[in-house]
Structure formats: C-alpha cells, structure tokens
Amino acid sequence: MNWILLFIAGLFEVVFAFCLRKAKDSVGNQTYFWYLGFFISLFLSMGLLIKVTQSLPIGTSYAVWTGIGAVGTILVGIFFFEEPIDFWRVFFLCTLVLSILGLKFVSH
C-alpha cells in the first residue's frame, strides 16, 4: 500500500509542475486557478510523501518520488508542451525508470 501511495505522491508532483507551467503561460484570473492547483497538488504530494516515509526508508522514498516526478514531468513536457524528444532523452528516461523499478525490487 505504501508503494501505491508513493506512486500517487509522485503523480501529484507531476501535477504541480504542470500547473506551474500553465500558470506561466496564462493571463488574468486564470493564473490564480493554476497557482491554486499548484498549491493543492504540492500539499497532497508532500503529505503523501510524509506518510510513506513513516514506513519506507527516507532515501528510497525520496529517490522514487523524485524519479516519478522527473519522468512524469518530462513526459508531460513532450506530450503537452512540445518539448523536444531525441534518442538520448529517451535513453536516459528509460534508465531512470529502470532505476526506480530497481529501488522497488531491492527495498524491504
């Protein structure tokens, strides 16, 4: 169950990064909507991370949380914001995913 919560916390990290980018691109009252989304997702992400670290090692939890956020944010950038995609970006993205999976399998 803790690994599921950790994954969800990582997804909320992606959401707050997405909201920051959308806030940067928006104008007027719409900006406040995106900042509100940022703060809500930040609160949820950190809250879940705190809960998870009560049962899982802090180093593993933080590394996986950050990795999920990084992978998700890169994918959001590629699919929603037309960021470039090339061989090396995909290669290192795959090594990051494999590292996250490796931490899951070697953790007790």
Tens digits of residue pLDDT in 86-98: 999 999 999 999 9
Alpha-carbon span 23 to 16, nearest angstrom: 10
pLDDT of amino acid 22: 96
pTM of the model: 0.89
**DSSP for residue 103:** H
Q: DSSP class of residue 86?
A: -
Predicted confidence at residue 33, as pLDDT, reads: 97
Residues of the chain with pLDDT under 70: none
Mean pLDDT, the chain, integer: 95
Q: Which domain holds residue 42?
A: 2-106
Residue 89 CB contacts under 8 Å (≥ 6 apart), including other chains: 74
| Closest C-alpha to 59, from 15, 4, 103 | 103
Contact 12, 41 (CB under 8 A): yes
Predicted pLDDT at 73? 96
Closest CA to 39 of 19, 61, 54: 19
Q: Using an 8 Å Cβ cutoff, are 6 and 49 in contact?
A: yes
- The domain tally of the chain equals 1
